[in-house]
């Protein structure tokens, strides 16, 4: 064997030894039977759709968009447990690509955790930024449960995205709705190497209200919607991102006692204002049967919103005209007060600004991740007829006592 051959042989042998050693080190660091916790998350890519009266309503594309996803798992400990910290022992943290595995993620856990399988608390959030919350930097793996519980959806000093002074009425590129999901005191099932917990549902931290209008074709006068307001005093300045009891029948609202409701009872926040002389008011289109766009109490939420959307998206021709118009939509934070407001309008050539009040059901029912439709049509006389969809309970998980309110 010549020197060149011996050199090649030595080089190949050295490379093989390095490869074997690398494999050995890899096996030591990531043994094949290393325990993992499988977490199923209904991520925004595969979202828990907006809730309705007796069925879900598909969220708009922009309402599903996300910036990133954060998942924390902590051992669950009651506050009375003297042997553990109040915020629980951290189990792990993930900041995954939310499009991977259809919302199923694997978190490495310790052998001790896999052996004990204690109950856990799971926190998931996305789209929580400095301009829509009280955080100053994006949380990471060092974030404690106590810090997560302190995150509040609120406006920054120079922005007010969810309902205090200038409500957010549209979502464009770069606009994201904060979303969160939390499970408390959840059992860990199966055994190592792959343990599992229940599905975590991620929902919007705000609700959407849509205002739809029409008039009866029997009314030979134009009806113009000039302004829509709501009682701003009933929207909290801030509310917690993670509501510990948000999905239980007790409906516990967590309003910061030092950061309470804005304004006084007679404060009105303007959602829509077309009263200016240079602005074009919204004209309610005519309909031979405007009552058909009022919810009949039998159709599902998705069927009802499909009815509204299909009419709004209809291509108009000389013979085909839309029979309804959307006055505006608004994204509001949750409230434990009754959401009330007024719709101001004119009829015919008169400049008299009439108004009709609306109310979104009972106190405590204005819950996050819902779509509300306020439909009003004018059928003559002195009143604009207003319809809002009534509330019913909706079970997110049949096996759990998770009751939320809808519409």
Backbone angles phi, psi at 201, to 5 degrees: -95, 125
Q: How confident is the model at residue 355 (pLDDT cuts 50, 70, 90)?
A: confident
Q: How confident is the model at residue 116 (pLDDT cuts 50, 70, 90)?
A: very high
Residue 256 has pLDDT above 60, yes or no: no
Tell me how crowded residue 221 is: count the other CB atoms within 10 A of its CB: 13
| pLDDT tens digits along 90-99 | 999 999 876 6
- Report d(CA 345, CA 384) in Å as an integer: 9
- Report d(CA 290, CA 386) in Å as an integer: 12
Lowest mean pLDDT among 143-147, 166-170, 330-334: 166-170
- Check: CB of residue 358 under 8 Å from CB of residue 386: yes
Residue 331 has pLDDT above 50, yes or no: yes
- Report d(CA 132, CA 254) in Å as an integer: 17
| Burial track 326-338 (b if 16+ CB lie within 10 A, e otherwise) | bbbbbbbbbbbbe
| Burial track 144-154 (b if 16+ CB lie within 10 A, e otherwise) | bbeebbebbbb
Please count the residues of the chain: 407
Residue 170 has pLDDT above 70, yes or no: yes
Give me the chain's average pLDDT, please.
77
């Amino acid at each position: 064997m010549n020197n060149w051959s011996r050199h090649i042989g030595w080089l190949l042998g050295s490379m093989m030894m390095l490869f074997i050693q690398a494999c050995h080190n890899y096996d030591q660091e990531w043994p094949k039977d290393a325990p993992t916790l499988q977490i199923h998350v209904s991520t925004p890519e595969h979202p828990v759709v907006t809730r309705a009266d007796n069925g879900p309503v598909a969220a708009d594309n922009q309402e599903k968009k996300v910036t990133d996803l954060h998942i924390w798992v902590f051992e669950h400990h009651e506050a009375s447990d003297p042997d553990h910290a109040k915020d629980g022992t951290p189990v792990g943290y993930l900041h995954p690509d939310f499009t991977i595995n259809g919302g199923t993620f694997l978190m490495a856990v310790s052998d001790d955790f896999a052996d004990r399988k204690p109950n856990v608390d799971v926190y998931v959030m996305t789209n929580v930024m400095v301009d829509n919350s009280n955080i100053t930097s994006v949380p990471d793996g060092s974030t404690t449960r106590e810090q997560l519980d302190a995150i509040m959806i609120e406006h920054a000093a120079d922005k007010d995205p969810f309902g205090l002074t200038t409500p957010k009425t549209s979502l464009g590129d770069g606009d994201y709705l904060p979303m969160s999901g939390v499970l408390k005191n959840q059992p860990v099932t199966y055994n190592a190497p792959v343990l599992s917990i229940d599905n975590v549902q991620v929902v919007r931290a705000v609700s959407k209200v849509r205002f739809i209008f029409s008039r009866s074709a029997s009314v030979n006068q134009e009806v113009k919607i000039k302004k829509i307001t709501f009682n701003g005093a009933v929207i909290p300045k801030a509310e917690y991102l993670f509501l510990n009891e948000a999905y239980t029948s007790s409906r516990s609202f967590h309003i910061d006692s030092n950061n309470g409701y804005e304004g006084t009872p007679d404060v009105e926040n303007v959602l829509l204002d077309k009263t200016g002389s240079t602005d074009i008011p919204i004209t309610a289109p005519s309909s031979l049967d405007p009552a058909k766009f009022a919810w009949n109490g039998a159709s599902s939420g998705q069927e009802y919103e499909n009815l509204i959307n299909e009419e709004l998206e209809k291509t108009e021709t000389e013979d085909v005209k839309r029979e309804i118009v959307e006055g505006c939509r608004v994204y509001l934070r949750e409230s434990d007060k009754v959401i009330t407001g007024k719709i101001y309008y004119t009829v015919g050539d008169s400049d008299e600004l009439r108004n009709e009040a609306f109310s979104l059901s009972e106190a405590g029912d204005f819950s996050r991740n819902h779509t509300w439709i306020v439909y009003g049509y004018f059928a003559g006389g002195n009143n604009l007829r207003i319809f809002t969809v009534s509330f019913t309970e909706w079970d997110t998980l049949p096996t759990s006592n998770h009751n939320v309110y809808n519409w």
